[in-house]
């Protein structure tokens, strides 16, 4: 009876091994054939989210940590420029951004003490500092810029360890660090001041932009009569009042430096007008007025369907040509209107495209659209009107190497950070092994398995935090060991360690569904600390 039971168990084990081998064979087939049918369709991260049976919101809850208690304490933002002493966590392979979630499994007594100290400190309660640690030619180095993290949830286990869920708050610069008498790492940090999102002043460009001209605003191909000239003077007074208000609103939107440049430019323009007028005799007033009307009407005239005007270069026409044309056809093709209705007249010192390069809202809109095209989820539309938050959100979720992520964290200025993120979204394509440069995947192979995006931080039972990017397809990887269901970051999936076939470096894990109806059937989790960027 015992022999039969042993044989039955061995048969089950052999069957499981065959199934595992079959799964590995299927993975190889998916890698070799990018157009393979059902598996690709079921695991394409850019496909309809309705195809997924897996609830992506579960992964962001970090349920593998077990029950954690909410602290019911929300920290107010620390004063910019403030210098504080905080418990410091040095994490290798992890770059924390404001608004990003960071789970911790605190085992070492010194770090447990750091958490307890953070819960009770007065200056910045429930707050720790997180610094990125990296290796440079075999030497361990520390980043100078880190992020404060607010302790949102925690649970003390029977063995004295802690499970903690934190959330990034504010950037800081590390001024000084030390280990206290009890072995807890500490640091003196200074909170970095973040800039305010910038926008192109509305009065600078657009259909309603004012056109300031001290000589008049009405443009006509017919010499004005005395009556019409009087009416024009009256209308000019009204226009000047409205323009004065627009001038004030426009200049109020500029910074001190921009206002000085703008006023200098306007002053030089007005000065040149004064010189022109002083050198013009009173007998030539009508002639100079007509020439000005002709030049400024060039672009306006082209908007009309009058063939006589469209075929004439008004800017270079002579006075005699204009008068002869007027005498031959006195009633044709009148143009007597405000040019502001037909063209945008810049009031600012620099061209429009220069301002758009530093317009945080324009950059945020462009970055959100690119994210939707390349990554898909989560949607950035709700953050377009908050460029500062969006810049940090994209930085924390874009699947690039830890070095590039630290670069994004250290950038001062919302517009500069957004422009760099747009460059990365445009250029990055290949995901390569950092050690041997083996191509692991392409950006088109990304799949979103968490509501927070294609990249997130997770912690294992030993307390090591890993930032992983999720892919539906990968190449050059070999499986090591059995599939394990316990402590899975993605409930319903078993994980298997994967190594690079070129250098045998651990690259991450293969996650396989434990239930037949769970989709996708498998996906890969690749450590961002083990990849290098292919930026072209």
- CATH number, residue 424: 1.20.58.1480
Q: Note whether 372 and 236 are same-domain residues.
A: no
Mean pLDDT of the chain: 72
- Tell me the mean pLDDT in the region 379-391: 85
What confidence score (pLDDT) does residue 352 get? 62
Q: Are 399 and 343 in contact (CB under 8 A)?
A: no
Q: What is the CATH number of the domain that holds 71?
A: 2.30.130.40
Selection from 197-211, 229-243, 254-268, 427-441 with the highest mean pLDDT: 427-441
Rounded Cα gap, residues 126 and 119, in angstroms: 5
Answer whether residue 403 shows pLDDT above 80. yes
Residue 278: both structure tokens together = 């002083």
Q: What is the pLDDT confidence band of residue 381, given thresholds at 50, 70 and 90?
A: confident
What confidence score (pLDDT) does residue 524 get? 96
**Domains: count for the chain:** 4
Q: Note whether 327 and 206 are same-domain residues.
A: yes
pLDDT tens track for 486-524:
999 999 999 999 999 999 999 999 999 998 889 999 999
Answer whether residue 121 shows pLDDT above 80. yes
Find the range with the poorest average confidence among 29-33, 252-256, 492-496. Answer: 29-33
Rounded Cα gap, residues 443 and 428, in angstroms: 7
Q: Note whether 389 and 525 are same-domain residues.
A: no
Q: How many CA atoms lie within 13 A of 125 on its CB side?
A: 9
The residue segments making up the domain with residue 525 are 26-63+434-535
Question: Does any domain span residue 491?
Answer: yes
Can you give the C-alpha Rg of the chain in angstroms? 33
What confidence score (pLDDT) does residue 356 get? 67
Residue 188: both structure tokens together = 């003196």
Q: Note whether 75 and 125 are same-domain residues.
A: yes
- Residue with the bigger pLDDT between 307 and 151: it is 151
Q: Note whether 145 and 263 are same-domain residues.
A: no
Of the candidates 194, 126, 65, the residue with the CA atom closest to the CA atom of residue 457? 65
State which of 428, 460, 490 marks the end of a domain: 428
Q: What is the pLDDT confidence band of residue 271, given thresholds at 50, 70 and 90?
A: very low
Q: What is the CATH number of the domain that holds 531?
A: 2.170.150.20
Q: Note whether 207 and 345 are same-domain residues.
A: yes
SS3 at position 211:
coil
Question: Does any domain span residue 17?
Answer: no
Find the range with the poorest average confidence among 19-23, 109-113, 372-376, 410-414. Answer: 19-23
Q: What is the pLDDT confidence band of residue 242, given thresholds at 50, 70 and 90?
A: very low
Q: Note whether 75 and 109 are same-domain residues.
A: yes
What is the per-residue DSSP string for 46-69? Answer: TS-GGG--S-HHHHTTTGGG---E
Q: What is the pLDDT confidence band of residue 346, given thresholds at 50, 70 and 90?
A: low
Find the range with the poorest average confidence among 190-194, 324-328, 374-378. Answer: 324-328
Q: Note whether 83 and 34 are same-domain residues.
A: no
């Amino acid at each position: 009876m015992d022999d039969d039971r042993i044989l039955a168990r061995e048969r089950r084990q052999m069957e499981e091994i065959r199934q595992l081998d079959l799964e590995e064979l299927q993975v190889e087939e998916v890698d070799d054939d990018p157009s393979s049918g059902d598996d690709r369709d079921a695991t394409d991260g850019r496909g309809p989210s309705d195809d997924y049976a897996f609830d992506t919101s579960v992964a962001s809850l970090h349920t593998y940590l077990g029950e954690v208690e909410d602290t019911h304490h929300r920290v107010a933002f620390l004063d910019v420029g403030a210098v504080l002493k905080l418990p410091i966590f040095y994490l290798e392979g992890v770059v924390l951004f404001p608004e990003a979630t960071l789970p911790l499994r605190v085992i070492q007594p010194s770090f447990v003490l750091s958490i307890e100290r953070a819960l009770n400190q007065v200056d910045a309660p429930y707050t720790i500092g997180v610094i990125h640690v990296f290796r440079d030619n075999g030497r361990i180095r520390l980043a100078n810029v880190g992020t404060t993290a607010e302790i949102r949830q925690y649970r003390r286990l029977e063995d004295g360890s802690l499970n903690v869920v934190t959330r990034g708050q504010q950037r800081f610069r590390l001024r000084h660090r030390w280990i206290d008498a009890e072995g807890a790492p500490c640091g003196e940090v200074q909170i970095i001041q973040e800039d305010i999102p910038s926008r192109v002043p509305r009065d600078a460009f657009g259909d309603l932009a004012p056109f300031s001209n001290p000589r008049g605003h009405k443009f006509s191909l017919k010499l004005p009569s005395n009556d019409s000239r009087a009416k024009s003077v009256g209308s000019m007074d009204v226009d000047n009042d409205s323009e004065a208000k627009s001038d004030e609103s426009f200049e109020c939107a500029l910074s001190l430096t921009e206002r000085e440049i703008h006023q200098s430019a306007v002053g030089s323009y007005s000065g040149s007008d004064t010189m022109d007028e002083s050198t013009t005799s009173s007998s030539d007033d009508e002639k100079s007025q007509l020439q000005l009307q002709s030049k400024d009407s060039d672009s306006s005239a082209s908007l009309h369907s009058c063939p006589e005007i469209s075929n004439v270069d008004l800017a270079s026409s002579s006075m005699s040509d204009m008068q002869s044309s007027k005498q031959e056809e006195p009633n044709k093709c009148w143009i007597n209107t405000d040019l502001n209705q037909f063209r945008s007249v810049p009031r600012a010192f620099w061209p429009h495209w220069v301002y758009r390069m530093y317009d945080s809202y324009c950059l945020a809109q462009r970055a959100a659209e690119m994210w939707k095209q390349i990554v898909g989820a989560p949607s950035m539309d709700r953050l377009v009107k908050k460029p500062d938050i969006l810049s940090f959100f994209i930085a924390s979720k874009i699947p690039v190497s830890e070095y590039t992520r630290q670069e994004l964290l250290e950038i001062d200025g919302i517009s500069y950070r957004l422009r760099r993120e747009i460059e990365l979204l445009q250029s990055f394509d290949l995901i390569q092994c950092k050690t041997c440069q083996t191509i692991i995947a392409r950006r088109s192979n990304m799949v979103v398995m968490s509501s927070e995006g294609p990249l997130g931080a997770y912690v294992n039972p030993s307390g090591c935090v890993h930032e992983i990017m999720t892919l539906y397809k990968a190449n050059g990887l070999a499986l090591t060991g059995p599939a394990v269901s316990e402590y899975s970051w993605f409930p319903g999936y078993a994980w298997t360690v994967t190594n690079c076939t070129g250098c045998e470096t651990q690259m991450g894990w293969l996650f396989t569904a434990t239930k037949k109806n769970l989709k996708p059937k498998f996906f890969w989790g690749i450590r961002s600390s083990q990849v290098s960027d292919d930026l072209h």
